[in-house]
Amino acid sequence: MSVTARSLDLAEHPTDAGEAAQFEGIRWSTYFKVILGISVSFFVYRLYLQKYAFSVGLDYFEPEFAVYWMRLLYGQIALASVTLVGVVFYLWQTRDRNLDAITPELELQRYFKWITWLASYTLVVFLTGVLGAESDAAWHQIVIRDTDFTPTHIEIFYMLIPAIIITGVGSFLYARTRLPMHSKKVFVSLAVAIGGPILIMPNVGFNEWGHTFFYAEEVFNAPIHWGFSGLGLALLGLGGVVTHIVSRMKELIDEVATHA
């Protein structure tokens, strides 16, 4: 009997809160919807950037900048704050309080959901580093710096980096509250892979301070950029996370197949 067929016969698993956590099979549709949603959102934002960055985004002191970009910035800050609080609150309030009693089938399902969290985090980091950061560097090479608020900064610092924090914290909390192996100890590889990119945020402040007083132009190998490269290397920790996931899921699949 396959793992999917086995899921149809799985009984409900009670939690301390009196709720029932039932194995519902592997929902790949959720995975693809999340990835597609993130991709489409960034694509639409990129179109907005293309249309309004040069026409009304060159001068922070112009009234049009306040209309087209500062309102967007304030909206992004509000949305990111509410989303982060909501994610943390939801994951903590709905945590499984009896992880020692969950079945292999349910744990396997949760690993698939965790993969969705991690894939979302990885995609956002990719968009931030490969597309967002490079577009910002190109912007500063052709446009004179006026203030810290530019269209590319509003995109990266107030949309993409908050998205990194939300998906990263969500990935970490999901493992801590849903997976038995991570409920009582910190997974070092995961902490490194998530903590490094999040710590880019303080380096952003250092970078802007340096550009204000020392580097008006955008020099890629400037010392104030070294932190981005160093903290970005923390993503190598994802190798350990992938190794763990593959190993643990193999164990769970074998266990489910044995009892099938």
| Domains of the chain, each with CATH number or no CATH | 3-258 (1.20.1050.50)
Instruction: Please state, in angstroms and rounded to a whole number, the distance separating the CA atoms of residues 67 and 73.
Output: 10
Residue 106 neighbours by CB under 8 Å, 6+ apart: 10, 13, 21, 22, 23
| pLDDT tens for each residue of 41-88 | 999 999 999 999 988 988 888 899 999 999 999 999 999 999 999 999
Q: Select the more confidently predicted residue: 141 or 165.
A: 165
Instruction: Please state, in angstroms and rounded to a whole number, the distance separating the CA atoms of residues 34 and 40.
Output: 10
| pLDDT tens for each residue of 82-109 | 999 999 999 999 998 888 888 888 999 9
User: Which residue type does 47 have?
Assistant: L
Burial class for 93, CB neighbours closer than 10 Å (0-12, 13-18, 19+):
exposed
Inter-residue contact 235 to 197 (CB < 8 Å):
yes
What b-and-e string marks burial along 130-140, b requiring 16 or more CB atoms within 10 Å of the CB?
eebbebbeebb
> Is the pLDDT confidence value at 218 over 90?
no
Q: How many CB atoms lie within 10 A of CB 120?
A: 21
Inter-residue contact 24 to 7 (CB < 8 Å):
yes
pTM over 0.75: yes
Q: What's the pLDDT at 246?
A: 92
Q: Which tokens in the block code for residue 13?
A: 């698993």
